[in-house]
């Protein structure tokens, strides 16, 4: 299996080498690490160069756009020539924490969409309580990048709208939470060819480890939950989502 979105650089209690080993022992042979802060861009580059199973995404997270400078465009362009940089991300809109700089978020989001289009790389989208603006901006500005709705948090209806655009839906630990009926409904209803698995480690740890630090090895709990919701085998979920990830990120 592939963990398509995992901040392994932010895991504190387990070393990167140990995290990768535990992932491998649990059937996860590729991990894609996004950037969130501008400083992560160098961290991601060093991780992809030192670990065969690690791939990277470059970009600035919506809550960190106050640190955005336009020279990052040239830096990302240069670094994305590396064959293991497979997407731009994570980028998008986050209206949950602080609404005072929504306009700056939109501006930087649009700049990074254009960059991804120019580089012809997929985009890992962070959308928290900003479904409508995220959707509208992507529809207006994205010309050719494949879209992955990372940590999808919308309704079944919104998932369908995204899939109608050809966008992928990435599900993580939330689907295993007892009270997360909305995400369980999404996991049951979307066509499998649009589904990706991710942990978003170190956050959103699935049951039965909820409350502890998340890591890529726990993808299996997410796959098991989705398989049981859909009444199919874990192998089937693993196979299809792995093929989807290989296709989307051209691994």
Residues that bind Ni ion in the complex, under the rule CB under 5 A:
200
Q: Which is nearer to Ni ion, 57 or 159 (CB)?
A: 57
Q: Which is nearer to Ni ion, 64 or 200 (CB)?
A: 200
Q: Which is nearer to Ni ion, 57 or 238 (CB)?
A: 57
DSSP 205: P
Check: CB of residue 18 under 8 Å from CB of residue 212: no
Q: How far is the CB of 235 from Ni ion (least distance, A)?
A: 27
Distance separating alpha carbons of residues 106 and 108, to the nearest angstrom = 6
Show Cβ contacts of residue 75 under 8 Å, excluding neighbours closer than 6 positions. 41
Q: Which is nearer to Ni ion, 94 or 200 (CB)?
A: 200
Q: How far is the CB of 229 from Ni ion (least distance, A)?
A: 23
Q: How far is the CB of 35 from Ni ion (least distance, A)?
A: 10
Half-sphere exposure of residue 222, counting CA atoms within 13 Å on the CB side? 34
Distance separating alpha carbons of residues 74 and 71, to the nearest angstrom = 6
Q: How far is the CB of 231 from Ni ion (least distance, A)?
A: 30
Q: Which is nearer to Ni ion, 199 or 244 (CB)?
A: 199
Tokens of 70: 């336009």
Q: How far is the CB of 168 from Ni ion (least distance, A)?
A: 15
Q: Which is nearer to Ni ion, 94 or 225 (CB)?
A: 94
Any alpha helices (H) in 120-169, and if so which ranges?
Answer: 131-141, 156-164
User: Which residue's Cβ lies closest to Ni ion?
Assistant: 200
Distance separating alpha carbons of residues 37 and 97, to the nearest angstrom = 16
| Burial class for 59, CB neighbours closer than 10 Å (0-12, 13-18, 19+) | buried
DSSP 81: T
Check: CB of residue 250 under 8 Å from CB of residue 86: yes
Q: How far is the CB of 198 from Ni ion (least distance, A)?
A: 8
């Amino acid at each position: 299996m592939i963990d398509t979105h995992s901040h392994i650089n932010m895991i504190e209690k387990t070393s990167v080498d140990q995290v990768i080993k535990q992932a491998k022992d649990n059937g996860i042979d590729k991990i894609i690490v996004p950037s969130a802060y501008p400083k992560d861009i160098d961290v991601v580059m060093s991780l992809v160069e030192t670990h065969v199973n690690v791939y990277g995404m470059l970009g600035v997270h919506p809550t960190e756009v106050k640190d955005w400078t336009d020279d990052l465009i040239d830096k990302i362009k240069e670094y994305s020539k590396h064959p293991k940089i497979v997407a731009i991300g994570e980028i998008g809109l986050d209206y949950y924490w602080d609404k005072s700089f929504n306009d700056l978020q939109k501006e930087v989001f649009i700049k990074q969409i254009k960059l991804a289009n120019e580089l012809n790389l997929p985009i890992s989208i962070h959308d928290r309580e900003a479904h409508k603006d995220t959707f509208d901006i992507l529809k207006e500005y994205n010309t050719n990048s494949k879209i992955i709705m990372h940590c999808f948090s919308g309704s079944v209806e919104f998932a369908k709208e995204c899939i109608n655009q050809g966008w992928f839906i990435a599900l993580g630990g939330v689907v295993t939470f007892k009270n997360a009926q909305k995400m369980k409904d999404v996991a049951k209803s979307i066509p499998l060819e649009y589904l990706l698995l991710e942990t978003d480690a170190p956050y959103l740890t699935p049951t039965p480890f909820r409350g502890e630090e998340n890591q890529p090895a726990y993808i299996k709990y997410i796959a098991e939950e989705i398989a049981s919701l859909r009444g199919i085998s874990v192998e089937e979920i693993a196979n299809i989502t792995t093929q989807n990830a290989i296709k989307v990120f051209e691994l």
